[in-house]
Structure 1
Amino acid sequence: MDVARLASALIQIRSENPPGGSTADVVAFIGEFLDSLGVKNRIISHPGGRENLVTTGGAGSRLLLCGHVDVVPPPSPPTTGRTTPPIAGRLPTVTSGEEAPPI
């Protein structure tokens, strides 16, 4: 599993709140990722696009992860020094020992 690529893909999915946008797309993405790992899951839909993702495991397995998948909107005007949109999800190329360039 490439965590950087997973994070990059997640960043590119719009889930801004406010204005109260839907989290359906990002929750569906996470559900599909869990499917690829063989983790059983289901999505519980709520009015306004606020989805919950519930996973189930084998007997005796217990894990509760409570988090959120919505994000605050990017600043307007854009932050000084940015060279890409905040949701671009671009991964900088870094050679060992180098500092990552600003994104």
Structure 2
Amino acid sequence: MQINLTHTYLISVHPRWASSFFLSHNPKTIELRKGSFGTCLKPGDNIAIYATLPTAELLGIVRILKRQSLTVDRLWQASQQGKLAKVSRPQFNAYTNFT
């Protein structure tokens, strides 16, 4: 018998991007994170999405399907040029400090 342990993590996300996880049509499916947070994630884990001020509320929970650590160029391609992360190229560049 195999026991799969999953974890639930809480992250805070700007309301603009937090709410896009829960769109009924074409939801956000990639979350961009700097640092080492993602290294602990495994498929099946859950992330509770907290929208920061001015919303200041827990919007819901999403399940991790896959975690990848990619170079900036590969991340832009994997996000379908920002479509899956709901960011424009200038927003992506500003976040990743890549110009």
TM-score normalised to the size of structure 2? Answer: 0.26
Q: Which of the pair is proportionally richer in strand?
A: 2
Which structure has the bigger radius of gyration? 1
